[in-house]
Amino acid sequence: MEQIKLYPLKFEPIYQYRIWGGRRLGSLLSKPLPPKDTIGEAWILSDRQDHPSQVSDGELKGETISQLMSKMPEPLMGKLSGKFKRFPLLLKFLDCQQVLSVQVHPSDQLTKYIPKDDSGKTEAWVVLETGEKAVIYAGLKPGTTEGTLRTALGQHKVADDLASFKPSVGDSVLIKAGTVHTLGDVVVFEVQENSDVTYRLYDWDRIDEKTGKPRDLQVDKAIACIDFTKTAIKPVTPAIKSDGSVHKEKLIEDPHFEVWRNTGQYPFMVGKEAIPRVLVCIAGEGDLECNNEFYLFSKGEVMLLPAACGACPFVPRGEVTLLEIALPGD
């Protein structure tokens, strides 16, 4: 392992059945979907103990991100080496064919509601596809209290207390921990803290066909984690910084991660010296040059640029759109 020089790493997607999922991720990723199941999530970079991502090609094929964090921390993480026990972000594509449960995630400070060795969960979405019934619920309506929310739960009218909007392709939305939220009839890219802590407030009274039962709710824990000041969240207005070769937009800025969208058809730079960055291709394809080698990068793929790679040229094959994600502490 010590003899291997780190290179841009691509990973196998991990498909997850979800009651609210569909089949639309089959047109986004090259790996075939499992037959018949409704697939709600593709975990494209995960350092979770139960679902660690595996490198898909090159000398390190089959190694997990967890193993690389342990065996090659400095070339992988650079200036961030030693700051994280595991890779600090979890990246996904979601196919929300139906509306997800109304849910909330705890903040890092609410340790009472976070399992050991886990964290809170702030997340962000970039909308890739929308259907006729596309909707994003983000935040409560102003004036909603615990009392009015519990009354709405008892009357099965929770949606009346939720702020919502109809999303458009390209929208980016920051869902800070403590924000009540859900979404439906959309395909999105999601970046989040490396956490799987979700408390369901309401699940639209539906039955899981696989179990014949409703899914569990965690109403009291969910309400305890709600920040009632998080109301009527809207899409972020991107900060645009373009030059002659690339149209660059900062979509998300948060202490846990930053997200840029790069669109262009001429070569441009990605990554940063001595710092790891994550790239996600959401349209087109191209070649990333690192240490005089070229690595094809196509729609639906994720690529982790190790710190050892530094800043690299990306050469599009036609017009391409890449998301570039910075880690906390970058």
Cβ–Cβ under 8 Å, residues 161 and 102: no
Q: Containing H/E element for 261? A: strand 257-264
9 CA to centre of own chain? 18
Q: Which of the residues 24, 48, 200, 261 is marked catalytic?
A: 200
What are the DSSP calls for 153-207, one per residue?
HHTT-GGGGEEEE---TT-EEEE-TT--EEEEEEEEEEEEES----EEEE-TT--
Separation between Cα atoms, residue 176 and residue 242, nearest integer Å:
28
**200 catalytically annotated:** yes
Q: How many CA atoms lie within 13 A of 126 on its CB side?
A: 24
Measured CA to CA, the distance from residue 111 to residue 327 in angstroms comes to 22
The β-bridge partners of 140 are 162, 231
- Structure token digits, residue 307: 């710190």
Distance CA 90, CA 112 (A): 22
Give catalytic residues, as residue numbers. 200
